[in-house]
Chain A
Amino acid sequence: MRNIVALPVILFSVILQSAIISRVYLLSGIADLPLVMLAAWALQEEVDSAWQWAVATGLLVGFISGIPLIVPVLGYIAVVVLAQIFQRRVWQAPLLAMFSITFLGTIVVSVLSLVVLRFLGVPLPISDVLGLLTLPSVLLNMLLAIPVYAVMRDLARWVYPSLEVE
């Protein structure tokens, strides 16, 4: 039953991404709210549903976006994998882990998009993609990281009340 909360949260983040955040450019890069949201969710202790969230978010983003479905699904699963690795190793500094996952996750999704689109024949110069798209997107995602982490932490405490005891 706890996973039901995923539906409105994922839906809200994807709508917000498409309607507002995608219009705010830094050079050619934009922030990826679903990615940051997933990273923050997967970092919360006792959260065991991050995999389902990643697949659902990937499917929804793939449905809205023109990018092949495999990119957001695999990309978001990779973010959850990164989050689980960092959660075990950097568990005492969740914000540091959040920044690291946001940084690495953005690069993973960006490289995955680049590889798949180039494979499909879309001409994408690597230098333009890295300089004008990936790095600005990383910066924008880093800016989103702290507020989104705070919101997702509160959500996790609400969904999993046992966290409050700790």
Chain B
Amino acid sequence: MKDLFSRTLQTTIIFLVIGGIMALALGGYFSGASNVFTGSLVNLQTWFSTRFVAIQDFFTSPRDIASLRQRNAELEGEVADLQAQVIQLQQEVGETQILAALVDFERAHSENTYRAAAVIGRDPSPFLHYVIINRGSNDGILRGMPVVTNQGLIGRIDAVIADAARVELITDPASSVNVRLQNAETDASLVGSVTGDLTLELIPQDINVQPGDLVLTSGLGGGYPPDLIVGQVVNVRSRDFDLFQQATVQPVVDFNRLEIVLVIVNFKPVDISPLIPPNP
């Protein structure tokens, strides 16, 4: 009986102690010790967990790496194919944009008949500014026909073979185009240079030329049809002792980026050389 009492008392004390500890813990009196304990427990579990995962990876990874490598190779192949497609599509988009612009130009200038051609080369000599196009006499191209883009005049056909032609650009040093200034209503001569700069010459001194004036072909001489846009006046050089003014012209066409051009095939150039009196 005495033993039963003492055992019950002992159990009761233990419960009371545990309950008191729990009450103190719930009351926040053991938070510091609790944090240390739980922190250590979490760290220990993390350590075991990472080791276990590492060991698991060690035994299972060879199969995964092989499959991943195969999958990676497949994906790299797909990426390469897609990149090639993207480049091809970008090129096609660029060509389509150029062709769309040329079609718009053709519709806006329906009085002319055009033949589209791709620029396939440039003159091997740096002294001359010529380009080579992939249309020739088989496509109805003849010497002297004007060549334009949707932006404006670029030159005229200089030589033709069956499937190709050489175009003399207006920037060529031997090129001379009769032009008119739209605002000033006067004619002038546009000449190229070895550096590709365009200069407007033979502008009468009494004509008021301003930067920004539009330069168009005049049609005089029969070499080019009239009213093709050539460029804009950038600056004017006028000196009292000169007979004529000079002006620098910024062409509307970027001659370094010629890709597709239009040949005006219904224009017949007029050869006026027999009308020019010979020099005495």
Q: Does A129 contact B (CB under 8 A)?
A: yes
Q: Does A67 contact B (CB under 8 A)?
A: yes
Report the nearest B residue to A122, measured CB to CB: B174
- A108-135 CB contacts (< 8 Å) to partner B: 113-114, 117, 120-125, 128-129, 132-133
Number of A-B residue pairs, CB cutoff 8 Å, is 83
Chain A CB within 10 A, most for which of B125, B159, B166, B196: B125
Shortest C-beta distance, B20 to chain A (Å), equals 92
Cβ contact within 8 Å between A18 and B132: yes
Interface size on A, residues (CB 8 A): 35
Q: Does A28 contact B (CB under 8 A)?
A: yes
Cβ contact within 8 Å between A65 and B126: no
Interface size on B, residues (CB 8 A): 24
Cβ contact within 8 Å between A65 and B125: yes
Chain B CB within 10 A, most for which of A65, A114, A123, A129: A65
Cβ contact within 8 Å between A65 and B194: no
Q: Does B158 contact A (CB under 8 A)?
A: yes
Shortest C-beta distance, B196 to chain A (Å), equals 7
- B155-179 CB contacts (< 8 Å) to partner A: 158-159, 166, 168, 172-174
Provide the A62-100 mask, 1 if CB < 8 A to any CB of B, else 0.
001111000110000000000000000000000000000
Provide the B100-138 mask, 1 if CB < 8 A to any CB of A, else 0.
000000000000000000001111111110101000000
Chain A binding surface, main DSSP class: helix
Cβ contact within 8 Å between A28 and B126: yes
Cβ contact within 8 Å between A66 and B120: no
Assembled-state Cα–Cα distance A124/B125 (Å): 14
Assembled-state Cα–Cα distance A89/B277 (Å): 56
Provide the A1-22 mask, 1 if CB < 8 A to any CB of B, else 0.
0000000000000110111001
Given the contacts A65-B130, A67-B127, A129-B194, A22 and B174 also touching, CB distance less than 8 Å: no
Measured between beta carbons, the chain A residues less than 8 angstroms from B125 are: 61, 65-67, 71-72, 113
In the complex, which of the residues A18, A34, A117 contacts B127, with contact meaning CB atoms closer than 8 Å?
A117
Q: Does B193 contact A (CB under 8 A)?
A: yes
Q: Does B11 contact A (CB under 8 A)?
A: no
Cβ contact within 8 Å between A29 and B194: no
Q: Does B195 contact A (CB under 8 A)?
A: yes
Chain B CB within 10 A, most for which of A17, A65, A66, A123: A66
Cβ contact within 8 Å between B158 and A133: no
- B174-195 CB contacts (< 8 Å) to partner A: 174, 191, 193-195
Provide the A129-145 mask, 1 if CB < 8 A to any CB of B, else 0.
10011000100000000
Cβ contact within 8 Å between A65 and B173: no
Measured between beta carbons, the chain B residues less than 8 angstroms from A64 are: 121, 123-124, 132, 166
Measured between beta carbons, the chain B residues less than 8 angstroms from A123 are: 173, 191, 193
Cβ contact within 8 Å between A29 and B126: yes
Given the contacts A124-B127, A129-B194, A66 and B166 also touching, CB distance less than 8 Å: yes
Assembled-state Cα–Cα distance A73/B204 (Å): 44
Measured between beta carbons, the chain A residues less than 8 angstroms from B193 are: 123, 128
In the complex, which of the residues A25, A67, A121 contacts B123, with contact meaning CB atoms closer than 8 Å?
A67
Assembled-state Cα–Cα distance A125/B122 (Å): 22
Cβ contact within 8 Å between A124 and B132: no
Report the nearest A residue to B173, measured CB to CB: A122
Q: Could you list 21 A-B pairs, sorted by A, with CB under 8 Å?
A: A15-B121, A18-B121, A22-B122, A28-B126, A29-B126, A34-B124, A65-B125, A66-B128, A66-B172, A72-B124, A113-B125, A113-B127, A121-B174, A123-B191, A123-B193, A125-B194, A128-B193, A128-B194, A129-B127, A129-B194, A132-B195
Residues in A lying within 8 Å of B, measured CB to CB: 14-15, 17-19, 22-23, 25, 27-30, 32, 34, 61, 64-67, 71-72, 113-114, 117, 120-125, 128-129, 132-133, 137
Residues in B lying within 8 Å of A, measured CB to CB: 120-128, 130, 132, 158-159, 166, 168, 172-174, 191, 193-196, 256
Q: Which 3 A-B pairs have the closest CB atoms?
A: A18-B121, A22-B122, A67-B125
